[in-house]
A and B are shown apart, each in its own frame.
Chain A
């Protein structure tokens, strides 16, 4: 019991107390009424669902594809993988800001180039709400893709080579090898990673806030960034209520993931 004490203390101070305090701040039912009446909240929920579904699925399909490319044992691919991993390895603030500057509709390098080449104004990348949301999704994918590609690469490398050799002997095509060897071996990892990514993406503040700041007109907020808006408006109770409202999204995901992990553990033991 004495050995457990430091862990219990850390849990109490850094988990139980902040969570309880947050729930206490969000205790007023009136906060939820006004939150649900705020049209920006509704837009934010729609944005969050869209962001999660598109960003996570697109990211994992790409990661699955790229992991197949990066496992090839070639010198130039190894070098390329080093470059590929940079967006994930670099801190979020300078990388996302650099994208924000590149896509600034007036003086960003992208629209300046379009103007120089065609004499036309480029798209309003970050001031059109739909385009800005798409850009935030792209930034999220660009930043997180290397990590999940690495995870799936590790999964692919763990698949015994004999299975592929046997499939080749049987005359299997590349698609058949993927369908009957790779996918069954990767499926558990893929689904668990997707669940974990859903949880992390729900809390992704940087991709949206650093790129669009929730603008224009608070139309590109997701639940992770909306709290900051309410704090700026001196409405801490609404900020906390926003987080509480996100719990029905998060908790089933956590429960489902933990169940999968414990199920996997039981299978392996």
Chain B
């Protein structure tokens, strides 16, 4: 009997002492299988190296914030959380509230390896300690591109060289000439400009803010102070709202654009419901690159995908700004975080340090087929970025230098982005038939209320 009892105690002891250490990781699901596979490989390598079991949960970009918020508020946050929209929607807020672990010990020694602007996004203010620190880790970047169907343009009776380079002429060309030409030639009710305008979408505010950049509008200075009371800024905001909403009034943006979520302009483009769209990654073109190598598709489908990628779809930058100068693009840096009440912070930091190594990070970034741009100089200097017709445009846009988002100067802009005051103003003009001036007044009032 005593032996049996001793065996039971020993078994219980063993099960406790040898229970495998776990690390809970939330991550955004990739667009392409290669991206997910690269993450799986990274996790497997980490598990093999450390013996730690990684419990990986993947969520869609839109789900990643609610899932993390729910876990955080129930007191069971993941050890590591990465979300494609964390940077411009929540990371600054979480850092300010003192909810994030300082990762300076990981990032400071690596500082020289990063591209400019990259670390600005993760150098966040903790309002509890009144100190800035690296409260997030950067994984990849994105900026704004234009994608259009060359074959639709040709059917409309135009060549790529016919596309104007100046701001107003550029949008007028798509809105009037290209759309009318294609509708006449095909008899199909398509639209020319896929401008994302949904409130529940990050594409819409990224696009709107790019238009704002085109009008040289800066709503916050380098010290984080609002400039929205300046008449010049207000004038620029009115011009931006008017310009952005204009394509719907003219009938060249689909009416449903006001309800679009992030994937919807991609879907409309792939279905050839729109001739062109602005998108914050080249995911539209990359979808066909993924398809052309997919063994789940037939040979004909793969051949069509290859044709779409190499011949029919073009990636381009924006036209010259209304003042005639070239655009300088804003780049977003996609970040992950470690919550300061995570259970296994030591291993979480180890995982982040491991993930940030070029040999682990590069396959993950490149697994996205060009959708994301690297954060490190080594990653950006690889031939991957210059040997492809779409990626070389992306590389050129980044190489020309980028600017950061407003929230890097005033974290409360993450709240404004999250509420999407930008798309809301555009919706006021389109849905409620407000004047751009009235919509901007409401927008400015909200900006001052939240970030003032």
Contacts and interface: CB of A to CB of B under 8 A. Distances in A.
Interface stretch (B19-27, B211-219, B329-337, B424-432): B424-432
Contact of A106 (B191, B415, B427, B432): B191
B258 A217 contact: yes
Contacts of B374: none
A129 B65 contact: no
Given A127-B256, A217-B258, A107 B273 contact: yes
B419 interface: yes
Interface stretch (A150-158, A231-239, A245-253): A231-239
Interface string B245-280: 000000000111011010000001001010000000
B255 A127 contact: yes
B93 A234 contact: yes
B125 interface: no
B10 interface: no
Contacts of A231: 66, 69-70
Contacts of A236: 69-70, 73
A146 interface: no
A127 to B, nearest CB: 5
Interface string B48-73: 00000000000000100110011001
A126 B70 contact: no
A198 interface: no
Given A216-B431, A228-B66, A127 B259 contact: yes
Interface in B87-112: 89-90, 93
Contacts of A48: none
B200 interface: yes
B199 interface: yes
B418 A215 contact: no
Nearest to A116: B189
B379 interface: no
B255 A215 contact: no
A219 B198 CA distance: 12
Given A233-B418, A233-B419, A216 B258 contact: yes
A25 interface: yes
Given A126-B256, A129-B431, A228-B66, A213 B261 contact: yes
A25 B255 contact: no
A212 interface: yes
Given A213-B200, A217-B199, A232 B418 contact: yes
Nearest to B258: A216
Interface in A218-238: 218-219, 228-229, 231-234, 236
A103 B256 CA distance: 11
B450 to A, nearest CB: 11
A105 interface: yes
A235 B28 CA distance: 21
Interface string B196-208: 0011100000000
B76 to A, nearest CB: 13
B123 to A, nearest CB: 21
A115 interface: yes
Contacts of A212: 259
A121 B424 contact: no
A233 B202 CA distance: 12
Contact of B255 (A105, A115, A213, A218): A105
A201 interface: no
A234 B189 contact: no
Given A106-B268, A233-B418, A234-B90, A216 B259 contact: yes
Contact of B418 (A105, A112, A217, A234): A234
A25 B73 contact: yes
A213 B65 CA distance: 17
B256 A104 contact: yes
Contacts of A112: 189
A112 B255 CA distance: 14
Contacts of A105: 254-256
Nearest to A119: B189
Given A127-B256, A127-B258, A215 B268 contact: no
B258 A232 contact: no
A215 B69 contact: no
A127 B70 CA distance: 30
A228 B70 CA distance: 11
Contacts of B89: 234
A105 B424 CA distance: 21
Contact of A218 (B66, B199, B261, B273): B199
Nearest to A217: B427
Contacts of A57: none
Of B261, B415, B427, most A-chain CB atoms within 10 Å: B427
Contact of B189 (A115, A216, A217): A115
A106 B267 CA distance: 12
A49 B343 CA distance: 44
A217 B428 contact: yes
Interface in A156-214: 212-214
Contacts of A81: none
Interface in B388-427: 415, 418-419, 424, 427
B431 A217 contact: yes
Contact of B259 (A25, A121, A126, A229): A126
9 contacts: A105-B256, A106-B255, A106-B268, A213-B261, A215-B198, A215-B199, A216-B199, A217-B427, A236-B70
Interface of B: 62, 65-66, 69-70, 73, 89-90, 93, 189, 191, 198-200, 254-256, 258-259, 261, 268, 271, 273, 415, 418-419, 424, 427-428, 431-432
3 nearest CB pairs, A to B: A217-B427, A215-B259, A216-B258
Given A105-B255, A107-B271, A127-B259, 20 more contacts: A25-B73, A105-B256, A106-B189, A106-B254, A106-B256, A106-B268, A107-B273, A124-B256, A126-B256, A127-B258, A127-B431, A213-B200, A213-B259, A216-B199, A216-B431, A217-B199, A217-B258, A217-B424, A231-B70, A232-B65
